[in-house]
Structure 1
Amino acid sequence: MSRLSPFVAIRRDLHKIPELGFQEFKTQQYLLDYIHTLPQERLEIKTWKTGIFVKVRGTAPRKTIGYRADMDGLPITEETNLPYCSEHEGNMHACGHDIHMSIALGVLTHFASHPIKDDLLFIFQPAEEGPGGARPMLESEIMKTWKPDMIVALHIAPEYPVGTIATKEGLLFANTSELFIDLKGKGGHAAFPHLANDMVVAACSLVTQLQSIVSRNVDPLDSAVITVGKISGGTVQNAIAERARLEGTIRTLSVESMNKVKERIEAIVKGIEIGYQCEATIDYGSMYHQVYNDEKLTAEFMQFVEQLPDVHVVRCKEAMTGEDFGYMLAEIPGFMFWLGVDSPYGLHHAKLTPDERAIDKAIALLTSYMTWKGNE
């Protein structure tokens, strides 16, 4: 039986303790405990809320290369039946952040003992899934002091085989926004609908009208998605609902389309208020900026990776997925790429089972790239 890679073992430890955004206390402590076992001569460690910054001082620094790994899990009950499945009931690392952290630790481990000319900054970021940790972390005093000159991140991709890297110059991930709409009317007895204002009927009408926005208000050559994933309302079967709530998401490939979609949502909701004699409130919750890869750095990275053995590079299309790493890329040149993990189940699925061989492949790839980039 082959010996388990130390970073695969770390991934399994982290997989057991998924924690939601800004609640990653066990995860933070686990990471700190490991980081403190590394040679400390060139390391500076600072914590921020439940996140961590680790600076590796270079031998003759001219710039700082940043690397970001997200930390939080999702409120999903795991169904993998793995021997190392989640021990936190109702939570799961269903988006691969356990793998992201393990890879970051592997790269950090190498450079703690093998420094390069330039400084490195490893950023372990909480709350990517919500409410969003990238923007406040970016605005922190630590980041202002240690702000890197370029920054890199990856995300696992279940649809690609192990050994595949997929990315592109320019737009990679969409602009995203949560959407919560609360309706308040007048409840009453089911036998007397004329004496009430039924919010279930209002909610159904609103969902139908929202679906017209993309087809009639967004440029057909652009892309947008409005999904209402949850509707709740009413109390019992024989009472007219006084309240209803819609929960959904908005995704667009341009900032302009996001603004247009929200403008139309607000206009339609005003119409619902008038037509159904009710009160409505809109909350956009967490909003994530598009992930826009620096064209020069991304092309350079792809050319570098193409020279490596056992790595296949794919120039992928942009996706409607959201990632708050986009806020960092809006201020710092850099890029994100997909890492193939060949799982039959997709991201955010209760049975997501990434191929762990991708961990050591990613560590080797990033170590090679950062060594080259940090010594050029």
Structure 2
Amino acid sequence: MTDRQIAELGELRRALHQTPEVSGEEKQTAARIAMELERAGADRIWTRLGGHGVAAEFIGKQDGPTVMIRCELDGLPIHEISEVPHRSTIAGKGHLCGHDGHMVMVLGVGLALAKRPEYGRVVVLFQPAEETGAGAQAVINDPRWPEIRPDFAFAYHNIPGRPLGEIGLCEGPSNCASRGMKITFTGKTSHAAAPEDGDSPAQVMAGLMQTLPLLGNGGTMDDDFALATLTHSRLGKASFGIAPGDGELWVTLRSQTDGRMDRMVAEAETLVSTALGQESALLAAVSWHDVFLANVNEANAAAIAARSAQNLDLTKHLMTAPMRWSEDFSRFGLDGAKSAMLFIGSGEDQPQLHNPNFDFPDALIPVGISLFVEIIEQILSNPALPAQTGRPAADG
């Protein structure tokens, strides 16, 4: 790519940073991305995938496998406090995870594909609602997904605290499973002078706030890794005259494997039912939110990524354990793609993801593009690599 193209992608990244849209609301971001893909000469563009998702294909000269490069559209409901000139212009919302940078790297791949691959095709996917864990499955559930379904899928996430431009490679598990547990308590209020005449959830909630974290306290990253984190609680109304009659507890469960998560879920639900007791008039309802499955990198895809980083002489970091945080990219592997989540260092002094002063470093843009393009070249220059699904029968 030319220096001018890289500079223009940096300008676009900063423009996207100024106008973040949270999960499920990415309409304007998606429209801008679709316009840029049309300018890049995509052979076909899909919009409104699984919500506001956008995908585009670049068709090679001969049939072959489909390689998908995926990024995320959504920002976060966090108020940005940085002093950069391109800080968010929308109160309470910010691109504080780097999805703005991920988007322009994938757009850069589209620009590089002005020279079409020899075999197969490339799909670039701009996925909605990653932060809630809902977007990937919504895209897969879209009736047009069979026209897009890839044989290989790759994605990045930037990693603060690692050297700028370093490529993190993980064999096997790369991201933990997680899910939010919301427990809603319903009892009966009473006058604060006569609490015995009501049904307060206070004692049950206090007990669960002690026992639920015991489901997992972190520790060594292995198949038995488990972590339960209390994230929110609410008891009654803010009043000195009312004994509470309702409340909520929010807990995040996290594990390295989906099997361990299933055990945590069962144990958590048992704790709630036990805490209520047989004679209590108090009711409790459990609901599950932001469900992320564990992401496991497929061996062949991980090896292709490692070889591509080696070919470009990029600094590599071979990870011995997955990230504790989660990614709904796992859904594409479960859908049948040979997939790998890659990591790219965003600087040892970079603020943490979701910090209110996070800002994606533009210096990563050419690094990210070059590795994705090399991965595509490794796969689509080799006619011996079979496609799992083949070119869709639909036009384009």
Give the TM-score range, shorter chain.
Answer: over 0.9
Indicate if the aligned counterparts of 1:7 and 1:360 stay in contact, CA closer than 8 A: no
The aligned counterpart of 2:372 is: 366
Aligned to 1:336: 341
Closer/same/farther in 2, CA of residues 290 and 29 from structure 1, 3 Å limit: same
AA at the equivalent of 2:283:
E
Q: Provide the secondary structure at the position in 2 that maps to 1:101.
A: helix
Residue 249 (structure 1) aligns with: 252
- Shift in CA distance, 161/50, structure 1 to aligned 2, threshold 3 Å: same
| Consecutive unaligned residues in structure 1, runs of 5 or more | none
How big is the shift at 1:131?
5.2
Aligned to 1:136: 138
Kindly provide the amino acid, as one letter, of the partner of residue 9 in structure 2: F
- 1:1-376 equivalent positions in 2, closer than 5 A: 5-40=7-42, 43-47=43-47, 48=49, 49-130=51-132, 132-214=134-216, 222-235=224-237, 236-274=239-277, 277-309=281-313, 311-316=314-319, 317-331=321-335, 332-342=337-347, 343-376=349-382
How many residue pairs end up in the alignment? 371
Task: Please identify runs of 4+ aligned residues in structure 1 that moved more than 6 A.
Answer: 218-221
CA contact (8 A) 1:39 1:113 kept: no
Superposition deviation, residue 371 in structure 1: 1.8
- Name the CA distance, whole Å, in 1 between partners of 2:256 and 2:240: 41
- CA gap of 1:219–1:315, structure 2 versus 1, over 3 A, is closer
Deviation at 1:113, TM superposition (A): 3.9
Q: What's the CA shift string for 1:277-297, capped at 9, x where partnerless?
A: 410000111211111000122
1:221-259 deviations in whole A, cap 9, x for unaligned?
610111111111221134211111112211111222111
Which of 261-270 and 337-346 deviates more? 337-346
Q: What is the CA-CA distance between 1:272 and the residue it aligns to?
A: 2.2
- Shift in Å, 1:352: 1.0
1:111, distance to aligned residue in structure 2 (A): 0.2
Q: Give TM-score scaled by structure 1 length.
A: 0.93
Q: Distance in 2 between matches of 1:220 and 1:82?
A: 40
Q: Distance in 1 between matches of 2:75 and 2:146?
A: 27
| Structure-2 separation of matches of 1:221 and 1:203 | 30
Distance 1:289 1:219, change over 3 A: closer
Q: Which runs of 5+ in 2 are unaligned?
A: 383-396
Relative distance call for 1:264 and 1:219 in structure 2 (3 A) is farther
Give the letter for the 2:253 counterpart. I
Q: What amino acid is the match of 2:304?
A: E
1:323 corresponds to which letter in structure 2?
Answer: E
Q: Is the 8 A contact 1:128 1:324 kept in 2?
A: yes
Question: Which stretch has the larger CA shift, 352-361 or 195-204?
Answer: 195-204
User: Partners of 2:364 and 2:62 in 1: how far apart?
Assistant: 32
Question: Which has the higher mean CA deviation after the structures are superposed, 100-109 or 230-239?
Answer: 230-239
**Secondary structure of the corresponding residue to residue 211 of structure 1:** helix
Q: Percent identity?
A: 23
